[in-house]
Amino acid sequence: MAASGRPVAASLPAEIEPAELPADAIEVGRIADAWGVKGWFRVLAHSADPQALFSTTRWYLQPSERGAKTFSGTVLLRVRESKEHSDSVVARADGVEDRSAAELLRGARVFVPRSSFPTAGKDEFYWVDLLGLDVVNREGLALGRVKEMLSTGPQTVLVIEYEAGGQPQERMIPFVSAYVDGVDLPARRITVDWQADY
């Protein structure tokens, strides 16, 4: 710990400084490993569409919950360049000049401020904005709350958590227009054409 009580990034390059995690920070991926010998590293995005990673050049990193840790607390990574490559994203950043430096980032969790996300198009939503929303059907019957989203390839599925008989239960509803009538983010509600006994 530094004298100020803030954690320090002892083994990371000096350009990667300790930082405060923004209040609206969202975890959008994790650093998988070094990529090449010139300081590039590979990032596995949590979403099939990694636009949130490209929306800012300021990524906030926290160490992996498991495995070896090369730093503690939160650090700010200033990204010089990032691009899609195969099934992942590759990037390079200030202070990460070679493979050894890139390997120090392995396993780090990547956060970006929600306020930096690109504006979603009409009838497009970020998964993070749907989590915790109440789900009701056309008759107004409460079906539960969105616990998580699953990508099944051709479509995304809402995983809805609800209680029945005093026990937590889950139901899954495809997030497609055939079943989803509308999403009201201000009201924190999704209306669906779905029955409780489906």
Does residue 9 lie in a domain region? no
101 & 159 share domain: no
Among 116, 135, 162, residue at a domain's last position? 116
The CATH number that applies at residue 167 is 2.30.30.240
Are residues 149 and 106 both part of a single domain? no
Give me the domain span that covers residue 141: 127-192
Give the span between the Cα atoms of 41 and 12, in whole angstroms: 14
pLDDT value for 11? 73
The DSSP letter of residue 104 is T
Q: Report DSSP letters for 47-113, one per residue.
A: SSSTHHHHS-SEEEEE--SSS--S--S-EEEEEEEEEEETTEEEEEETT--SHHHHHTTTT-EEEEE
> Residues 105-127: pLDDT tens digits?
999 999 999 888 878 778 788 88
Predicted local distance difference test score (pLDDT) of residue 45: 87
Q: Record the pTM.
A: 0.70
Query: What is the tens place of the pLDDT at every residue in 44-101?
Result: 988 777 888 898 999 999 998 887 788 889 999 999 999 999 888 999 999 999 999 9
